[in-house]
Amino acid sequence: MVKQVYGIDGKESKEITLSDEVFNGKVSEGSIYHALRNELANIRVGTASTKGRSEVRGSGAKPWRQKGTGRARAGSRKSPIWVGGGVVFGPKPRDYSYRLPKKIKRRAIKSILTAKNRENILKIVEDFSVEKGKTKELIKILKNIDPDPKGRTVIILGDDDPMIKRAGRNIPRLSFLSYNRLRVHDIFYGKRLLLFERAAIKLNEFYRDK
């Protein structure tokens, strides 16, 4: 497929040929779901912890005798039905992360890129840098490319560029990703995807089935 490349002035400058397999293929909603679920599970902090009846503080003595008091029988003040007693089946520290098959992750990313391309959310831009790392310079370029942005913006870089990242630190709802370290959550919820020309070329090779 052929797609327009935009310059930093916001005007179409040339065309680029993209792989149909990566940017215009079949959308697998199941793969997207599993990839999103995996990323969220991997960053989940499993530190929630409660105390069971064997861990709470208190006497182990029987509160009163078994019979003859008119009250319900009780064996311990640590019982879960007592105030201050242990918690039944409460959470304990655990690791929620798990491994997702590579093929599913790759299929999910290609599906999202395809969906964003069809929705005209994905734009290819000429490679540029912000030499002095000034935020106002980057804001000016982004406004030229899209004067009325809505929601989160994701810029996919072909190479690591510390200056452009420095310029974008103070811009809300803006994130940077490398072409070979894409996060499914970011690109899925991004309302504007700006793909550097070099990154587009590398994605053609990186995510093409071998």
**Residue 206 confidence (pLDDT):** 87
Domain ranges across the chain: 2-44+97-206, 50-95
Contact (Cβ atoms closer than 8 angstroms) between residue 54 and residue 87: no
Query: How far is the C-alpha of 166 from the C-alpha of 172, rounded, in Å?
Result: 13
What count of residues does the chain have?
A: 210
- What does 2-36 look like in DSSP terms, one character per residue? EEEEE-TTSSEEEEEE--HHHHSS---HHHHHHHH
**Residue 208 confidence (pLDDT):** 77
| Cβ neighbours around 79 below 10 Å, total | 16
**Residue 30 confidence (pLDDT):** 96
**Residue 76 confidence (pLDDT):** 93
**Residue 210 confidence (pLDDT):** 53
**Residue 148 confidence (pLDDT):** 77
Instruction: Tell me which architecture the domain covering 2-44+97-206 has in CATH.
Output: 3-Layer(aba) Sandwich (3.40)
**Residue 36 confidence (pLDDT):** 97
* Residue-by-residue pLDDT tens, the chain, 210 positions: 898 999 988 888 889 999 999 999 999 999 999 999 999 999 999 999 999 999 999 888 999 999 999 999 999 999 999 999 999 999 999 999 999 999 999 999 999 999 999 999 999 999 998 888 899 999 999 999 888 777 899 999 988 889 999 999 989 999 999 998 999 999 999 999 999 999 999 998 888 765
Q: Is the dihedral of CA 116, 117, 123, 124 positive or negative?
A: positive
**Residue 183 confidence (pLDDT):** 94
